[in-house]
Amino acid sequence: MTFSERDILRGIVRDSFFEFVKEFWHTLVAEEPVFNWHVELMCNELQEAAERVFKGQPKEFDYLFNVPPGSTKSTICSQMFPAWVWTNMPTAQFICGSYAHAIALKDSIRTRDVVQSETYQELFPHIQLREDQNAKGLFINTQGGYRYSVGVNGAVTGYHGHFLIVDDPLNPEESYSEAELKVANRWMNTTLPTRKVNKEMAVTILVQQRLHQSDPSGMMIDRLEKDGLLRHICLPGEKVEGAEIKPPQLAEYYDDDGLLDPVRLPRKALDALRIELGEYGYASQILQNPVPLGGGMFKVAKLKMELERPKRFLRLCRSWDKAGTKDGGAWTVGLLMGIDEKNEPWILDVVRRQVAATERENLIVAVAEEDDKNEKITVEILLEIEGGSGGKESGEGTVRNLEGHSVFTFHPTGDKESRAYPLASQMGNGTVHCLVGAWTREFTEELRYFPHSRYKDQVDAASGAYNRLARKKKRIGGW
């Protein structure tokens, strides 16, 4: 390049992250670029976040990008972005994570490839990596900026970032493990936030394909979105009912066939992915909504929402799923279900609390007394007794506390999904009613996502109640 060409190009790529990506594309990718509209969108969103950091201004948001795999998200966010930021702010510090350290290292190497490329060095010769600190997982430039790579749950002690970038903190296989979900969420919510250069200014950027209601994206949405502290870009692979596009005005950029990216993700490829990933995997990873299009196990759309209950029930059962830790992960749930004169089940009430053991026992007794006072027929009380001596002892204690009430106990067998199947079948047939109350939304949301829901306590209680009532019907031959 001549002097003037170099000056012009330097100004262009430094002032526009999207132009930077276009210029350095072939440094990382052999294939010809396909710059779908979402690529420029993501570049512009990241540039807006970075420019506030350049000016030392407080951040407006943290950022969440939910996009399908194969959408250039890692190339943009994890690989190109740190190299571009240094052209404006050489002292910028990055902590970059992924679900596996090897994946984080791969992204780190590619950032380093950009910085050490001939074109980058010709345009920005003042950005030099220190010879004594130029490793795959940590490289530092001569002006103090660095990029540190870490796997989820890895150590970040001693490092602080202006930008905390997490690219796929969970892989699809791990999303089925409650333990792995907790590890990823704990690292994202408790470890990473402490590693900011400045809490008011440093930006967290999460890039992920959705995998579970309770994945790190779900946790981030719950913590930040309601207070307007999250910029959420959600781009399903296709525009269909149930796949939410955020912000909604971006829907106009989808093509006439409803596709996000007709070159990278054409209809033929999406059809193949639907078969390969299965209904749930496609809904999560491609549509960014971890509920299949037709609904999960429970077809909530077929649940009959009612404003009034029948005057007469043949039988009533309050089923309890107990949890023993106040403010812990699980909830104590008592669900009241009735069978009407048409032999159809009604979900009438859900009591749901996170309470310690003593408060829980007092709650169960109080609800039993209230049911006896309000209902015209006996309300059977069903208690699930967990395995082991602790579960047995707890169950026996609850039975003693409920002396004088009609109490039944059972030991659960099989998994939660198997126990829920009879009620799910009835709901799919459109024979289950649900009274509308303050509790209804949380109950139906748990049904909607089950068996991949964050909590399963309400489903457990509902399954127990229905199975109790259904067995009794079968045994006596009618109501």
3-state SS, the chain, equals CCHHHHHHHHHHHHHCHHHHHHHHHHHHCCCCCCCCHHHHHHHHHHHHHHHHHHCCCCCCCEEEEECCCCCCHHHHHHHHHHHHHHHHCCCCEEEEEECCHHHHHHHHHHHHHHHCCHHHHHHCCCCCEEEEEECCCEEEECCCCEEEEEECCCCCCCCCECEEEEECCCCCCHHHCHHHHHHHHHHHHHHHHHHECCCCCCEEEEEECCCCCCCHHHHHHHHHHHHCCEEEEECCCECCCCCCCECHHHHHHCCCCCECCCCCCCHHHHHHHHHHHHHHHHHHHHCCCCCCCCCCCCCHHHCEEECCCCCCCCEEEEEEECCCCCCCCCCEEEEEEEECCCCCEEEEEEEEECCCHHHHHHHHHHHHHHHHHHCCCCEEEEEECCCHHHHHHHHHHHHHHCCCCCEEEECCCCCHHHHHHHHHHHHHCCCCEEECCCCHHHHHHHHHHCCCCCCCHHHHHHHHHHHHHHHHHHHHCCC
Is residue 126 very low, low, confident or very high in pLDDT (cuts 50, 70, 90)? very high
* Residue 140, Cβ density class (10 Å: 0-12 exposed, 13-18 middle, ≥19 buried): middle
pLDDT number for residue 474: 41
Supply 131's token pair: 């010879």
% pLDDT > 70, the chain: 94
pLDDT number for residue 177: 73
Supply 383's token pair: 């208690």
pLDDT number for residue 81: 98
Mean pLDDT of the chain: 91
Is residue 328 very low, low, confident or very high in pLDDT (cuts 50, 70, 90)? low
What lies within 8 Å, CB to CB, of 196 at 6+ separation is: 160, 161, 162, 164, 202
- CATH 3.30.420.240 domain residues, the chain: 300-476
pLDDT number for residue 353: 93
CATH 3.40.50 matches 3-234: yes
Is residue 479 very low, low, confident or very high in pLDDT (cuts 50, 70, 90)? very low
pLDDT number for residue 180: 85
Tell me the pLDDT tens digit for each residue of 140-185: 999 999 999 999 988 898 999 999 999 999 888 776 677 888 899 9
Q: Where are the beta strands (DSSP E) in 115-274?
A: 129-134, 138-141, 146-151, 163-167, 203-208, 230-234
- CATH 3.40.50 domain residues, the chain: 3-234
pLDDT number for residue 324: 59
- Top-level CATH class of 300-476? alpha beta
pLDDT number for residue 329: 62
pLDDT number for residue 463: 95
Averaged pLDDT for residues 285-314 = 87
Cα dihedral: 85, 89, 92, 98 (round 10) = 0
